[in-house]
Amino acid sequence: MTNTFRALLTGAAIFVAGAATAAECIAPANPGGGWDFTCRQIGKILYDIGQVDQPVQVTNMAGGGGGLAFQTVVNERNDDPDLIVAASVATQTRLAQNAFGGATADQVRFVGAIGADPGVIVVAADSPFQSLTEMMDAMKADPGSVAFAGGSAAGGFDHLKVLQLAKAYGIEDVRTIKYIGVDGGADAITQTIGGFTQGMTGDMSEIVGFVQSGDVRVLAVLTEERVPGFDDIPTAREQGIDIVAVNWRGLYVPKGISDERFQEWADRLQAVADSDEWKEAMAANGLAPFTRVGNDFQAFVDQSIEESAALSREIGIIQ
């Protein structure tokens, strides 16, 4: 072996050993849908704006409504510094309801959310309710007089939105509130337009076409501020009910990584949130601004899980 060839081999070995490991994003579902979107869009933008040196690898890991991915991270990849996992309110709600086989939220670290599908309360165009407070007053006087349809099962996020509003408005026994879970937001709106329910609880992305056609009116959007493009829709907060309920899009990371690595991922996610590329992605996919990263987001998730668990116990979903 010549000295030149030996030097080339040595240099190649050093290059390989020093090469940065590509980040990986696990989408806990099959391709398509919210978690896959989160991984692919955030991963692409991380690379496009120079936050990572190599394209982010996306791994689809369907199973258990996110439970398989969660258990895999906890049991097999607890200290992987290059791993991020897509999450949403569904992740939060399932952890609150012990749907991941005994797994708990403190087994990972929630690093941030940078967009959200806003929760909404909708009525038919000819509904007598002209505001959210009018609807809540009717529910307070007779909780069984107002029924809601939603695209999640009983105890799911659509159901919990209504219960949160009711609790905040002083309705003591939320078990008296009628909720019908149907197969998706479109079916829920059909129930409401047809007069089978008095209200629909869902997400903004589900109702845009029905609002534009004039079939429904939106009594409230459950965000901190009004949603761009829908500036005529008041928030629940504006109407005196301090509730924010959005289907956030975000990430968690393994618990065993260092605090420095956690903060690095938080900073990277903030950079994505601040980018023009992400603003374009949100506009194209009907997402509203919702940026919480690092320890602030972890505290938000912890509090939301406590509230969801308490409501779930109250209605008998969990013991």
pLDDT in tens, 185-205: 888 999 999 999 999 999 888
Separation between Cα atoms, residue 240 and residue 287, nearest integer Å: 24
The CATH number of the domain holding residue 90 is 3.40.190.150
Last residue of a domain, one of 180, 204, 239: 239
**Rg, Å, the chain Cα set:** 22
**Site of tokens 């007779």:** 142
Same domain, yes or no: 280 and 194? no
pLDDT of residue 299: 94
| pLDDT at residue 256 tops 70 | yes
More confident residue, 154 or 92: 92
Q: At what angle do helices 276-285 and 259-274 cross, to 10 degrees?
A: 70
Q: What is the mean pLDDT of the chain?
A: 90
Residues near 74 by beta carbon (within 8 Å), at least 6 away in sequence = 103, 107, 108, 254, 255
Give pLDDT tens digits for 48-92. 999 999 999 999 999 988 999 999 999 999 999 999 999 999 899
Which sign, positive or negative, has the C-alpha torsion 82, 86, 89, 91?
A: negative
Same domain, yes or no: 132 and 73? no
Contact (CB, 8 A) for 242 and 168: yes
The band of 249, judged by pLDDT with boundaries at 50, 70 and 90, is: very high
Separation between Cα atoms, residue 265 and residue 250, nearest integer Å: 12
Same domain, yes or no: 145 and 226? yes
Same domain, yes or no: 92 and 125? no
| pLDDT at residue 14 tops 60 | no
> What SS3 class is residue 149?
strand
| pLDDT at residue 16 tops 60 | no
| pLDDT at residue 17 tops 60 | no
The band of 289, judged by pLDDT with boundaries at 50, 70 and 90, is: confident
Alpha-carbon distance values, 219 to 3, 122, 222 (Å)? 78, 6, 10
Give pLDDT tens digits for 172-183. 888 899 999 887
Separation between Cα atoms, residue 272 and residue 270, nearest integer Å: 5
In single-letter form, the type of residue at position 300 comes to F
Last residue of a domain, one of 193, 223, 239: 239
Mean pLDDT of 147-174: 90
Same domain, yes or no: 256 and 235? no
Same domain, yes or no: 141 and 233? yes
Q: E strand or H helix at 13, and its extent?
A: helix 3-18
Nearest one of 117, 115, 119 to 41, comparing CA atoms: 115
| pLDDT at residue 6 tops 60 | no
Q: Where are any strands of DSSP class E within 125-231? A: 147-150, 178-181, 199-203, 216-221
In single-letter form, the type of residue at position 82 comes to D
pLDDT of residue 314: 87
| pLDDT at residue 233 tops 70 | yes
List, as one string, the DSSP characters of 99-113.
-STT--GGGEEEEEE
Same domain, yes or no: 206 and 292? no
The band of 9, judged by pLDDT with boundaries at 50, 70 and 90, is: very low
pLDDT of residue 20: 63
Same domain, yes or no: 49 and 111? yes
| pLDDT at residue 11 tops 60 | no
Q: Range of 295's domain? A: 20-116+246-314
Last residue of a domain, one of 239, 259, 289: 239
pTM, to two decimals: 0.79
Separation between Cα atoms, residue 159 and residue 152, nearest integer Å: 7
Same domain, yes or no: 155 and 295? no
